[in-house]
Amino acid sequence: MSGSSTNGPTAGGSVTGSGASERLGRLLGGDETAWLIDRARRRLEQGRPLTGTVTLTTATPAQRRAAEALLGRRAGAGSSLSVSLDEVDRILRVGGIAADGLREAVIRLRGPIRDLTGEKATRAADWKRAFAKLDALISERPELSGWRSWLESTGLVRRLATTAGEARTLLDRLSTVLERLPSPGTRLGRLAAETCADAHALDEGRPLATLALSAARALSGLPYASEGGADARRSAWAAVGVHLDDLSSFVLCLGLPGDDRSPTGRVLSAAGAAGEPCVLTLRQLLRHDTPLRANLVRICENPIVVAAAADELGASCPPLVCGGGRPSAAVWRLLDLLAAGGATFAYHGDFDWGGIAIAAAVHERAGFLPWRFDAASYRAVPSSAPLSGQVRPTPWDPELSVAMERRGVRVEEELVLPELVADLKLRTSS
């Protein structure tokens, strides 16, 4: 740069404080050099050195003139403008404008430099602490490891909690809820009150409820993302034993013996005498505190079996319970009451991986003999419907899962409806 100034270097090579500030403002404080200061500041915030060249691809004439005034020479030609940060740093130091060079100039013009790398590391540490309790729980619950990865990949927690501190509170509560799951026969409000000191913490739409419901689905082998709708929500909670209320959870049955000693017993007696299916709510079953007496109780997955049995057999139908897909809290309660009364169970369901998962849950809790629900029965039914989903074990007949994986078709319960009804009729006549 040429020309003299009363604010230029003194004979000793330094500039007065006010003169240095004025000159710094003229050289780098205007709009035309803002891009250069912005680039330098960004590098400092990222922990990178102020070396090398920065380029402005579409420079205006005013920006080029400002760069030339700073460098004291022409700054090239064309539309782009390149400036050496090393050269700017040297000019500021030698000219006595900023003793510590470009770094000092950036701070004087724009304020303190943020440590973005350090801030990022701090945020990462904060978020890791937010997940600490949940991760400790998952280390002991490997069935939730896939769900934990899904949480990370979808960013669901970060959408529900704006800060790591909020997330830590949310996830700590979630961990407390998960420690209680599965929780057979528990009302949702009670679970929320006992784990979160807030009976509404798991109400639909609350952040904790969103996370807890996805975890419940994971524990039940369902897709982590909610399908939406009250029925899907009710089913997901029911799969881990939790019911939304005593009346929305129910079980369909036919031919269960009743008695005249209790309200539930009288309901069963009346339905049995009429040969009609009976719907029992969880409320009724929770208030029935004595075992229900029966010998062999057959369990089906779909209501159509109960309807067909009622049409064909009416009042002569032997004990039959419908799981209705994933068993509700009412289903579990009824099976528990029957088991306490000495009943044994025989089970049939859909030959698909969802049906196998349902059957496995029933087998684990109540035990059963397969009712046309083994490998030989599966192979005997014609079907061309493709089988999809995750392969699952069949502990009541290990060969069944092997046969299903090899054959690769699904067989819905409706396809063997005549055989199932025939079995019930044979049981009646025997």
- Selection from 177, 154, 165 nearest residue 131 by Cα: 165
| pLDDT tens string 135-146 | 999 999 989 999
Using the predicted structure, report yes or no on whether residue 12 has a pLDDT greater than 90.
no
Residue 395, pLDDT score: 97
* Mean pLDDT, rounded, for 109-122: 88
Using the predicted structure, report yes or no on whether residue 132 has a pLDDT greater than 50.
yes
Q: Quick one: pLDDT band at residue 20, thresholds 50, 70, 90? A: confident
Predicted model pTM: 0.59
| pLDDT tens string 34-49 | 999 999 999 999 889 9
Residue 371, pLDDT score: 98
Q: Mean pLDDT, the chain, as a whole number?
A: 90
Q: Quick one: pLDDT band at residue 4, thresholds 50, 70, 90? A: very low
Using the predicted structure, report yes or no on whether residue 68 has a pLDDT greater than 50.
yes
* Mean pLDDT, rounded, for 102-126: 90
* Mean pLDDT, rounded, for 15-40: 85
Burial class (CB in 10 A: 0-12, 13-18, 19+), 78: exposed
Q: What is the share, in percent, of the chain residues with pLDDT greater than 70?
A: 95
- Looking at the DSSP bridge assignments, the partners of residue 240 are none
What residues does each domain of the chain span? 17-114, 127-243, 250-429
**CA-atom Rg of the chain in angstroms:** 37
Q: Quick one: pLDDT band at residue 429, thresholds 50, 70, 90? A: low
- The CB density around residue 411, as the number of other CB atoms within 10 Å, is 22
- Give, in degrees to the nearest 5, the angle at Cα 337 between 332 and 338: 95
Residue 76, pLDDT score: 74
Looking at 42-56, 64-78, 102-116, 271-285, which range is the least confident one?
64-78
Structure token pair of residue 323: 């799981």
| pLDDT tens string 51-63 | 999 999 999 999 9
Using the predicted structure, report yes or no on whether residue 149 has a pLDDT greater than 60.
yes
Q: d(Cα 17, Cα 25) in Å, to the nearest integer?
A: 12
Q: d(Cα 257, Cα 318) in Å, to the nearest integer?
A: 9
Q: CA of 162: how far to CAs of 169, 170, 300, in Å?
A: 12, 11, 46
3-state secondary structure at position 82: strand
Q: Which helix (H) or strand (E) holds 320?
A: strand 320-322
| pLDDT tens string 371-422 | 999 999 999 999 999 999 889 999 999 999 999 999 999 999 999 999 999 9
- 369-370 vs 278-281, strand pairing mode: unpaired
- 278-281 vs 320-322, strand pairing mode: unpaired
- Looking at the DSSP bridge assignments, the partners of residue 82 are 55
Q: What is the DSSP string of 18-75?
A: HHHHHHHHHHHSSGGGHHHHHHHHHHHHTT--S-SEEEESS--HHHHHHHHHHHTS--
Using the predicted structure, report yes or no on whether residue 233 has a pLDDT greater than 70.
yes
| pLDDT tens string 342-369 | 999 999 999 999 999 999 999 999 999 9
Q: Quick one: pLDDT band at residue 118, thresholds 50, 70, 90? A: confident
Q: Quick one: pLDDT band at residue 284, thresholds 50, 70, 90? A: very high
Which has the higher per-residue pLDDT, 228 or 9?
Answer: 228
Residue 227, pLDDT score: 67
Is residue 113 within 8 Å of 51, Cβ to Cβ? no
Place of tokens 């949310």: 170
The CB-side HSE value for 115 (13 A sphere, CA atoms) comes to 5
Q: Does domain 250-429 have CATH number 1.10.3470?
A: no
Residue 120, pLDDT score: 86
- 320-322 vs 250-254, strand pairing mode: antiparallel
Residue 18, pLDDT score: 67
